[in-house]
Structure 1
Amino acid sequence: MKYIYVSLIFLLPIIGLSQESKLTGKVIDKSQNFPLEYATISILNPTTNELVEGGVTNTKGEFSLKVEKGTYNVKIEYISFESKTFNNLDLSKNKDLGTIKLGIKADSLDEVVVTAETTTVDVRLDKKIYNIGKDLTTSGATISDALANVPSVTVDVDGAINLRGNNNVRILINGKPSAIAGFGSTDVLQQLPAEAIEKVEVITSPSARYDAEGSAGILNIVLKRDKTLGFNGSVRANIGTPLNNGINVNANARTDRFNFFTNIGYTQRQPPGNAVFENNYFEDTSQFDRIFERRDYDRDRENFNVNIGSTYFFNDTTEVTVSYFNRMGDDSDLTNNDTERFINGDLASQTIRVENELEEEMTHQFAVNFEKRYDSEGHRLTADFQYAIDDEKTTNLIEENEVFLAPELIAQDDIVENNDQTDLLIQADYVRPMGDAQFEAGFRGNYENEVTDFRLNTLDQNGQLVFDDTISNVFDYNENVTAVYSQYGNKIGKFSFLLGLRYEHTQLKGKTTPYGDINNIQELLGEDVDLNFDNNFSGFFPTVNLNFEIGEDENITLGYNRRINRPRGWFVNPFPSRSSRTNIFQGNPSLNPAFSNAFDLGYLKRFDKLLTLNGSVYYQRETDSFERIQEETGQTTSDGIPIIRSIPINLSSNERYGAEIGVLYNPTDWWRLNGSFNYFKFISDGQFNGRDFGAENESFFGRFSSKIDLPWKVQWQTNAFYRGPRENAQTKTDPIASLDLAFSKDFLNDNATISLNVRDLFNSRKRQQFTVTDEFTSNSEFQWRERQITMTVVYRFNQNKRQSRGGNQDYGDDGGY
């Protein structure tokens, strides 16, 4: 049964092609000559006025549709604009309507009935674009949940995001690093609502305009914003079990000179989780031969976020946008850990450990975007300034009591951690189209500072909480990246290319200030551990993207890029932080950045409106790649339990190669299917402390989605996911399968929608692992969140159900929020 989800992908039939004609054209704003993206093209039966074929324009306002040869009525529509109709149009052969100019309606904004949907994937020279707004299963979900449904992307049960099985993926918001994405952490993505997303760009072969960070590639999350004249928006409320309540208001008001936009949301979630660990120790490595743990996680997540901003239009070609983003998080985690310890099969000790963690976080981001357009073909200059502050305070009170022997308090920790981070971004980009060619150049400076103040009070031999100055410390970390780039693209016949070169200078600087005597701390950590470091390195990062059009609906792409993986602050912080008395994580200040070279060969074929096939094969070689390992410290707790540490190291190399295939198939007007399958293999080698950590592993994952239009305006969507087994130097991970269901119903003249979705229907998203070291083996099962059921109600005012945005001229890479 576990292979059903993957097998279904390859059972889609291919339908024969009909004799067709092609209809092309371009739709622009009559007053400003700007291309209108997502204008609707409807090809109608001239007798019954029923829809025969439909589509929407691209970012340049262009459209291209195929239809069986004949005579039709063609209607061009765009929300808040007057429509245009061509009656009895002869399409017995290919027809180009040329440039179609639409004028703004004189009266108030009226609803435009959009009867055709966009394709869920758009393949560009250097990326694939997925429309998130049409996924019913993300209603009431988080951004992290939405990313889990994107082909090529997987999200682990604990929220770690992987691209093609590689977790070194760069997360951008509207083409830029952003506090909205949590300064590179994925935790924030588990808090913000999925409804904020317009689309996700999967960039596996990034061009030079993007950061060189992220050896796996880039996920660019494009957020919604409307520029349509008038006042419009939506209100969304959801309720779920386990507790998943929230409300989100999105509003936009546009005049001739100003565009005001805001997004306000509040959520409260209580996702319960659980875990089981069983460690078996080899002879003479522990006083216990077996330790069994059961953990229950009770979480309470409250999150309030607001984004407000305005665009001022100096004239038809120049505008400036100012925006402010704020997020307030108030989280609490209560973890109960019941641990049983055995000697020769007999219970020797049982403890109950309770961790009560409270976290308060406040994030501010102020951004200014300037854009100057010189013509309607894309010649423009943009400049960005962005400043963000994130203040996070975490307190964790930990108590552990012996309950099997004489009941007593055996451990107590009181941890206070303050994390203050600032981020400054300065960026400018210039784009100059020249016919089919295009030249780009730009600058980006990204300067981050993170100060972590970690303080530990622990129980001494007299049963008193005392300040531990051997662990407590302040870590001040700076990551400064300055980059310039240039790239040139052109199209010659059926061949097009995009060549780029990026130069980046990086400074990684850290200073550790212990609360205790620095000489004692240095001796404790080791003389080779650098408490103060200043690492500087520079590099060129070339990119090559090639495309050959075999036919109008078939092409081949080839991409090459060089990337970098920089260690984050907590990866280089030399002071150990502990999640328990027996498990600590210690950073490695000697950790070097990893560099990779990657190749990607892609193929796309569209078979009429029924079937789209895309696939690729890829290869990547990374040097000095990161690997987290576990080892014994040689120390034990007061009751004789070995203390195990996790530490990141540089392995000498990591080779990764694989293949993926995706299928979009619409057997009927009321049924849409899509599936994807990704296979990858990696080979790593390297040693640490005389131990070989080389490994070879292969795995795969697949997903399948079915969306059906039922009577009475009801939609039904099913998403299935399967990930095969994985293995690294020490750990084997079992496969995971899960199924999501969703239903939606429109009412109030399609101005409102109610939906019900079930994530992880069979409660099967659990990570099961087996770890082997020279000292112990470990079996574990972890479930971050149990099955979730959510009901969502959306009401739209002056906004059509399928009109996700209007009037945006260019919003893919550098749009505002």
Structure 2
Amino acid sequence: MLVKWSKKMSKIKLLVTTAFCLLSLTFLHAQPSTNTIQVSGKVVDEISGEPLEYATISFYSPRKQKIITGGITDQNGAFNIEVPKGLYDVTIEFISFKTITLPKRKLFADTTLPTVALRLDTESLEDVVIIAEKTTVDIRLDKKIYNVGKDLTVSGGTVSDVLDNVPSVSVDVEGNVALRGNDNVRILINGKPSGLVGLNSTEALRQLPAESIERVEVITSPSARYDAEGTAGILNIILRRSKLQGLNGAITINSGYPFQAGASGNINYRTGDFNFFTTSGYNYREVPGNSLTETRYFNIDPATGEDLPDSFLNETRDFDRIRKGFNTNIGVEWYVNETSSVTTSFLYRDSNNESNTTNIIVEPDSDGNILNRNTRFDPELEDDITKQYSLNYVKNFKKSGHKLTFDFQIENNIEEENSAITQDNTSAIELVNTIEDQDRILLQSDYVLPIGEQSQFELGYRGNFNTLATDYLVSNQVNGEVTVDTDVSNNLIYTEHVNAFYSQFGSKINAFSFLLGLRLEETRITIDQTTSGDYSKKNYLDFFPTINLSYELTEKQSLTLGYNRRLRRPRSRFINPFPSRSSITNVFQGNADLDPSYADAFDLGYLNRMGKVTLNTSLYYNHSTQIFTFISEDTGTTTVISNTDTSQTVVPVIRRTPINLASADRYGFEFTVTYNPNKKWRMNANFNAFQDNTRGTYEGVNFDNDNFSWFARFSNKITLPAKIDWQTSLFYRGPSETAQSKNEGILSTNMAFSKDLFKEKASVTFNVSDLFNSRKRSGTSTTDTFESYSEFQWRERSFNISFTYRFNQKKKRERPARDGNGEEEFEG
């Protein structure tokens, strides 16, 4: 393990060394020259007169339309940039504001440009923007954009931690992501499927450092440009990447308890027509967890049908996990000419995980006396390597917004798991080897055509081609002799080809905006179980309409209405027929015969900005058919948990598996409130309540169920004396139930403190995740043959301290923003 650690740290050292070499070169290059001058000035908001920090100033050669140099404004909106003497077009840009160009400026001596006043670009039609809310949220016709950089509680954490703090999103104790309580969420990176998500999105999201994220787009009513996959909607994670001139970036190191250590950085270097960028990170985490299952079996004499005394079985599991991961995304953007650019990047992710699971199975009698005890040890080693190459081409035409894009992406992901399971009272060792090899190809092209000043037409194609081969081998080693268990060993090849075409049209007529689209998806799926000889093929062609409407009641209030049709294809784990082996009494097994589920979703939203308070609410309804649900059933088989010279204990094996049911109706209400009493204090609350009505029968068993559940999140951030930021976040998930189970509520609390250093060039943050160690899932499952109570805690309470250093990249400060009455709101 020390050798592997050394190799990983060598990669980090190489990355850091490269960064500082580039920094040194840039410094040397920037020394004063007789051929350069100083150009200074100031950029402000035209209405409020407030300075605009991070406005970008670019100097272009008028003849070649080639960028020569540039810079950004400081917190006072001022800039002072060293420029070679010459004739320039000077461009001033700031997000959500109209760009201003000062043409043909003769700059041959030190010059102070006149103050530049930028105006809000309220008529921008990219994504048909309806409101640019100056808090941490941008509300658009088909999405909500959450800027996550100011969340202290995720510093030094992972993407999974980030998502668990985004309104409308929840992450359960096993790491499964849900949107408004629905776990069928499509996760994209920079708008496309990505190797950063990998074969197991849960594990992959726990490997990617939080500092690599710029923002998260929550798309509850996706437009036709997006894949129809995901009945709950889409989470689009946007990674950090700068286009500023010169070298800039940030490096973060962190450590914590249970022991964890990591380093990550985003570095960008732009010179002339080229922009080089990388986001890389390494982390080592020890993640202890535990679970408990207490089962009571209702025994019946098979011959007479009479009731027999109940039997009991208690199982505890302790998980000692080590998660090690290195990931890097390296790329270059080439500005071919003033209208075209090509971006190419290579992604590499290497995750090496160790999981040592100790199962203790105890058989008590009705009085609690222990009849038998058995220990099962499952040491598992996992190696997951992802390689992905991406190519993007953008062609901009003369009219603003008129463009053509093309994307190509090819990816390979290999995940191998090996374990050697031992058990008391037996010399046999169960060897389990699983290899998953996935190849994915993405082809995509989009064409956007503005029509007039208020309308936009879009046309596109996307092809996803995916092949996943799973080789599952179970062997038994007795006295050194290995025998393959042919009853469970198998090889499965899953192929999924999806070709999609879409078109959409959007426009704004005074206060009314709309975006109408239609998507056609043709899906071809084959499932080939080569060992057993089972083969199935499914083809389906579907239309997916989308409608998004908006009406601005006033400058501060708006209504939105969205409809879209979505589908849910079964993931590889859902269709994999190989049973899990970590427990001999409770197994998970996929269902290769699962069909896709379809959903019609409606969403009615209301936004109101009332001075220092921002209210965002939604009513939503979702009707699904052929839904997936998980059931627990007695397999009809038994297993030996204790075997001695005088006795043998045999218990039933319980299986959890997904099935298709007839239909489900889901409707709910959510609201998010942001309150900024002053510049140093920010509060945010999110509440989501929903009702699920499920109807369906499977193998003669009725699974009708009505369930009401809810979750709430509250975050409070305040600046203490000495400019120390303190943030506390609370999350509560209400109780829920299905036809077979009842789950109790879960409360978790995170806390963090942060302090800026070295004139805001650096920050140090200390946070505690799950402060009261209460993030546990607990519930009871009941069938005709057994009743089972279970608890599960994936990760125990953890402490983390992180240090971030920024070079040529300032911290994003809170900036006053103008509301409808000219009063000020503040970003949190």
TM-score w.r.t. the length of structure 2 is: 0.82
* Identical aligned residues as a percent: 47
Structure 1: how far apart are the matches of 2:635 and 2:445?
49
Change beyond 3 A, Cα 1:730–1:464? farther
Does 1:741 pair with 2:751? yes
Aligned to 1:77: none
Aligned to 2:616: 614
Which one of the candidate residues 559, 562, 570 is aligned to 2:562? 559
Asked whether the equivalents of residues 368 and 386 of structure 1 are also in contact (C-alpha less than 8 Å), the reply is yes
Asked whether the equivalents of residues 309 and 321 of structure 1 are also in contact (C-alpha less than 8 Å), the reply is yes
Residue 185 of structure 1, CA deviation: 2.4
Does 1:581 pair with 2:551? no
Structure 2: how far apart are the matches of 1:224 and 1:736?
33
Asked whether the equivalents of residues 97 and 119 of structure 2 are also in contact (C-alpha less than 8 Å), the reply is no
Equivalent residue runs for 1:63-212 within 5 Å: 86=115, 119-183=135-199, 185-212=201-228
SS at match of 1:272: strand
Which one of the candidate residues 492, 510, 519 is aligned to 1:475? 492
Asked whether the equivalents of residues 486 and 500 of structure 1 are also in contact (C-alpha less than 8 Å), the reply is yes
Aligned to 1:418: 435
Aligned to 2:514: 497
Residue 292 of structure 1, CA deviation: 1.0
Residue 513 of structure 1, CA deviation: 1.6
Change beyond 3 A, Cα 1:356–1:85? farther
Structure 1: how far apart are the matches of 2:143 and 2:654?
42
Asked whether the equivalents of residues 39 and 57 of structure 1 are also in contact (C-alpha less than 8 Å), the reply is no
Which one of the candidate residues 757, 770, 787 is aligned to 1:760? 770
Residue 118 of structure 1, CA deviation: 5.4
SS at match of 2:196: helix
Q: What whole-Å deviation, never above 9, does each CA across 1:331-350 have from its counterpart, x for those lacking one? A: 10001111111234332110
Structure 1: how far apart are the matches of 2:395 and 2:792?
51
Residue 283 of structure 1, CA deviation: 2.4
Q: What letter corresponds to residue 745 of structure 1 in structure 2?
A: K
Q: What whole-Å deviation, never above 9, does each CA across 1:545-573 have from its counterpart, x for those lacking one? A: 00000011110000000000001223223
Asked whether the equivalents of residues 549 and 556 of structure 1 are also in contact (C-alpha less than 8 Å), the reply is yes
Structure 1, unpaired ranges of 5+: 1-19, 45-55, 64-81, 90-94, 100-116, 402-407, 523-530, 805-817
Say how many residue pairs are matched. Answer: 710
SS at match of 2:149: helix
Change beyond 3 A, Cα 1:575–1:747? closer
Q: What whole-Å deviation, never above 9, does each CA across 1:287-345 have from its counterpart, x for those lacking one? A: 97111122111001110111111011111221101100001111100011111112343
Residue 97 of structure 1, CA deviation: 8.8
Residue 30 of structure 1, CA deviation: 6.5
Structure 1: how far apart are the matches of 2:325 and 2:436?
18
Which one of the candidate residues 349, 352, 358 is aligned to 2:372? 349
SS at match of 1:712: helix
Change beyond 3 A, Cα 1:318–1:41? farther
Residue 59 of structure 1, CA deviation: 4.7
Which one of the candidate residues 423, 439, 463 is aligned to 1:445? 463
Structure 2: how far apart are the matches of 1:122 and 1:371?
25
Asked whether the equivalents of residues 37 and 59 of structure 1 are also in contact (C-alpha less than 8 Å), the reply is no
Asked whether the equivalents of residues 28 and 61 of structure 1 are also in contact (C-alpha less than 8 Å), the reply is no
Aligned to 1:9: none
Residue 655 of structure 1, CA deviation: 0.6
Does 1:270 pair with 2:270? no
Change beyond 3 A, Cα 1:600–1:508? same
Q: What whole-Å deviation, never above 9, does each CA across 1:135-191 have from its counterpart, x for those lacking one? A: 111100000010000000000001000000000010001111111112462220011
Structure 2, unpaired ranges of 5+: 1-45, 79-91, 100-110, 123-132, 302-307, 641-648, 815-828
Equivalent residue runs for 1:389-788 within 5 Å: 389-401=412-424, 408-409=425-426, 412-434=429-451, 435-458=453-476, 465-514=482-531, 518=532, 531-608=534-611, 610-638=612-640, 639-788=649-798
Residue 43 of structure 1, CA deviation: 9.4
Q: What whole-Å deviation, never above 9, does each CA across 1:234-281 have from its counterpart, x for those lacking one? A: 111000001121011221110111111112211000011011110011
SS at match of 2:812: coil
Q: What letter corresponds to residue 511 of structure 1 in structure 2?
A: D
Residue range with higher mean Cα deviation, 492-501 or 22-31: 22-31
Residue 42 of structure 1, CA deviation: 6.8
Change beyond 3 A, Cα 1:760–1:506? same
Q: What letter corresponds to residue 342 of structure 1 in structure 2?
A: P
Aligned to 2:265: 249
Asked whether the equivalents of residues 23 and 96 of structure 1 are also in contact (C-alpha less than 8 Å), the reply is no
Q: What letter corresponds to residue 619 of structure 1 in structure 2?
A: Y
Structure 2: how far apart are the matches of 1:269 and 1:307?
21
Structure 1: how far apart are the matches of 2:221 and 2:414?
34
Structure 2: how far apart are the matches of 1:457 and 1:389?
28
Asked whether the equivalents of residues 142 and 219 of structure 2 are also in contact (C-alpha less than 8 Å), the reply is yes
Aligned to 1:367: 390
Asked whether the equivalents of residues 98 and 121 of structure 2 are also in contact (C-alpha less than 8 Å), the reply is no
Asked whether the equivalents of residues 33 and 376 of structure 1 are also in contact (C-alpha less than 8 Å), the reply is no
Structure 1: how far apart are the matches of 2:295 and 2:72?
56
Which one of the candidate residues 200, 214, 238 is aligned to 2:230? 214
Structure 1: how far apart are the matches of 2:783 and 2:465?
40
Change beyond 3 A, Cα 1:409–1:288? farther
Equivalent residue runs for 1:235-384 within 5 Å: 235-284=251-300, 289-345=311-367, 346-375=369-398, 377-384=400-407
Asked whether the equivalents of residues 288 and 342 of structure 1 are also in contact (C-alpha less than 8 Å), the reply is no
Residue 376 of structure 1, CA deviation: 6.5
Asked whether the equivalents of residues 200 and 220 of structure 1 are also in contact (C-alpha less than 8 Å), the reply is yes
Residue 440 of structure 1, CA deviation: 0.7
SS at match of 1:581: coil
Structure 2: how far apart are the matches of 1:248 and 1:21?
40
Q: What letter corresponds to residue 471 of structure 2 in structure 1?
A: D
Change beyond 3 A, Cα 1:120–1:473? same
Structure 2: how far apart are the matches of 1:384 and 1:315?
19
Structure 1: how far apart are the matches of 2:485 and 2:702?
35
SS at match of 1:571: helix
Change beyond 3 A, Cα 1:184–1:124? farther
Q: What whole-Å deviation, never above 9, does each CA across 1:745-800 have from its counterpart, x for those lacking one? A: 11112111111011111111011111111111111111100111100001111110
Asked whether the equivalents of residues 39 and 61 of structure 1 are also in contact (C-alpha less than 8 Å), the reply is no
Higher relative contact order (CA 8 A, sep 6+): 1
SS at match of 1:137: helix
Residue 543 of structure 1, CA deviation: 0.1
Asked whether the equivalents of residues 163 and 169 of structure 1 are also in contact (C-alpha less than 8 Å), the reply is yes
SS at match of 1:187: helix
Structure 2: how far apart are the matches of 1:695 and 1:216?
20
Residue 727 of structure 1, CA deviation: 0.9
Structure 1: how far apart are the matches of 2:656 and 2:580?
10
Structure 2: how far apart are the matches of 1:297 and 1:240?
19
Q: What letter corresponds to residue 434 of structure 2 in structure 1?
A: E
TM-score w.r.t. the length of structure 1 is: 0.83
RMSD of the alignment, in Å? 2.8
Aligned to 1:61: 97
